Chains A and B, each alone.
Chain A
Amino acid sequence: MKGIKALIILISPIFIGWPALFLGAYGVTPFMVLKILLNETLHIFEIGDIPEKAIITDIRLPRVILAGLVGACLSGAGVTLQGIFRNPLVDPFILGVSAGAAFGCAITIGFLSSFPIQFMAFIFAVSAVVIAYTVARTQGEISRLPLILSGVIVSAFFTALVSIVKFLVDPHKLQSIVYWLMGSFSLADWRHVRISFPFIMAGLVPIFFMRWRLNVLSMGEEEARTLGVNVKRDRILFIAFSTLAVASAVSVCGIIGWVGLMVPHLVRMLVGPDHRILLPLAISGGASFMIAADTLSRTLTTFDIPVGIITALTGAPFFIYLMRKGGKEAWGR
């Protein structure tokens, strides 16, 4: 039973992503979709240069892929940080990644328009975490609570800076900043996929291989140390890799909340806390969830609903339902 559940979650991105290619405001017949995809990959079925081709290959396909990548990344990082901080209520933005990215975006749109937004968002996202980590070093030792606290402080600091920028810029730039921060895939294209894929992989792949160690680390620092784990080194590695991936994701699509908190938690409730199974399933679960949310956001009404609203509205009730059903076991206590 458990194995079947796990398998379903593992391959879910495919059976959620596939139909997503068929859905959209511009009606493309399923037959045509297949033709176009086959034409792209196997170069059969001559199609010619028609709008439907652009819709499928330039708009829907990169959007679905990007949504999957970002969802996988946020969820994977969420699992990692929840394990490191031994707390299922941690989200991937806790160390300041999103606040740093927001500031990078704001200051670029506001004052440094010659720099590319994604690059600046990425740089500041990573810097925020580095600052948080450095601030938390007391007497050469870093433990969980100071790290979380300094993450909160750094987030608050950068958020305040963003407010200052918002106050100083003219209203049109202000609107651009607000839109960017809201997080959406409506302008997703292949360029976004190209620039984020390598960094997201560079972050998630090492974490995937290291995932069993999250089990040990989550037992506690002293205990992990006596079991033979170099806590300081492993923790830096996990934080570095997840920051790399999340910074990259946030820099291409803005800040999308809830996914990194909820999906790890949901998957843990369904398949247990062993990170060897939890991490890959949370990654594919996150990809599916985000693709589903984005598809809903662009097909429910004529206009695009911001995807963060969808993730909150659909995820929260389901989460509550699972919690009530699971009761005590849901929290593992």
Chain B
Amino acid sequence: MGKIMNLEVESLAFRHRGQQEDVLRSVTFTAHQGDVTAILGPNGSGKSTLFKCIVGLWNPYEGEIKVGGKNPSKFSVRERARLFATVPQDHEPPFPYSVLDVVLMGRASYVGIFSSPKRKDYEAAEEAISLVGIEHIKDKPYTGISGGERQLTLIARAIAQSAPVMVLDEPTSHLDFRNQLKVLSTVRSISRERNITVLVTLHDPNLALLFADRVAILKEGYVVAEGDPKSVITEDLISKVYGVETRIISSDGTRLICPVMGELT
């Protein structure tokens, strides 16, 4: 039962006010429920812009976004938050809220303007915390934990939002090697467990190869390839999109991209 909550993006175009150049020219792809879909692309390809358009912070002037067949562009801020759970890049808030308090903020779209979170909100938050595996730090100040733990907290907050779509903006950019793997692995298991549609923007194609079910490659505002990472990410594509000579190597069924050092020097 329940609709299939796929995220469909069609012919999206966006430019900044007063600018002549489009940042996004015609972006089309679909992210399926239960899958982790990664958006890849070099700097300036429009990944962050696409992210902001999808969650409703910026307005595209052309094209359509649909979730479960419905267009959310006319939704109120509150309704949108019940649809899209956003995980931003890590940042330091001005005040040292506890991890639990931060996760609780995910319930904002369910709490009335003159109310405070109720028991069911606490339950959703606690559940999200245990799903992500951070119970041991739930009373610690958010500003006193490591970068990886902070990112996991933000993911827990997004889970507490109980939204069918979760969008993550380069969640690994400030993390160390181990935490990058931990965070993305958590994201993937959540997408399965909660059967939600996950969209992640990534800068490292290898991470997409390791964790994404589908991938959409962005270059200069267009989606130039879309599909299963194993078949889409080829040496040819990497060369075209990133301008780097690489070799795809395989180890125990895991595919990885290896840059050809000779060409670089």
Residues of A within 8 A of B (CB): 86-88, 139, 206, 209-213, 215-216, 218-220, 222-231, 234, 237, 268, 272-274, 276, 329, 332-333
Contacts and interface: CB of A to CB of B under 8 A. Distances in A.
Contact of B94 (A87, A216, A227): A87
B111 A230 contact: no
B259 interface: no
- Closest A-B pairs by Cβ, 7 of them: A228-B81, A228-B109, A332-B96, A273-B95, A209-B114, A226-B86, A212-B116
A312 B138 CA distance: 38
Contacts of B98: 272, 274
Most chain A beta-carbon neighbours within 10 Å: one of B17, B94, B95: B95
Given A210-B113, A219-B105, A332-B141, A228 B78 contact: yes
A332 B95 CA distance: 6
A274 B17 CA distance: 38
Contacts of A87: 94
Given A273-B97, A274-B97, 7 more contacts: A86-B95, A213-B113, A216-B105, A219-B105, A223-B86, A231-B77, A332-B96
Interface string B76-91: 1110111010101001
B94 A88 contact: yes
B189 to A, nearest CB: 23
Given A227-B81, A230-B76, A222 B101 contact: no
Nearest to A83: B95
Contacts of B76: 230
B25 to A, nearest CB: 24
Given A332-B143, A333-B92, A225 B78 contact: no
A333 B141 CA distance: 9
Interface residues of B, number: 39
B105 A86 contact: no
Most chain A beta-carbon neighbours within 10 Å: one of B97, B104, B105: B105
Contacts of A223: 86, 88
Nearest to A212: B116
Nearest to A274: B101
A222 B48 CA distance: 14
Contacts, number: 99
B106 interface: yes
Contacts of B80: 226, 228
Nearest to B102: A219
A225 B108 CA distance: 10
Nearest to B93: A219
A214 to B, nearest CB: 10
A226 B57 contact: yes
B94 A86 contact: yes
Contact of A225 (B77, B102, B157): B77
B143 A333 contact: yes
Contact of A229 (B56, B77, B96, B117): B77
B55 interface: yes
A225 B92 CA distance: 17
Interface in B109-143: 109-111, 113-117, 141, 143
A71 to B, nearest CB: 23
Contacts of A272: 96-98
B161 interface: yes
A234 B143 CA distance: 26
B17 to A, nearest CB: 8
A227 B108 contact: yes
B141 to A, nearest CB: 7
Nearest to B86: A226
A227 B115 contact: no
A158 to B, nearest CB: 29
A238 to B, nearest CB: 11
A273 B156 CA distance: 20
Given A209-B115, A228-B78, A228-B81, A218 B95 contact: yes
Contacts of B157: 227
Interface string B1-36: 000000000000000010000000000000000000
A222 B109 CA distance: 14
Nearest to B117: A212
A255 B61 CA distance: 50
25 contacts: A86-B93, A86-B95, A139-B17, A212-B111, A212-B115, A213-B108, A213-B113, A219-B93, A219-B102, A220-B93, A222-B57, A225-B56, A226-B86, A227-B105, A227-B109, A228-B108, A228-B110, A229-B109, A273-B95, A274-B97, A329-B96, A332-B95, A332-B141, A332-B143, A333-B96
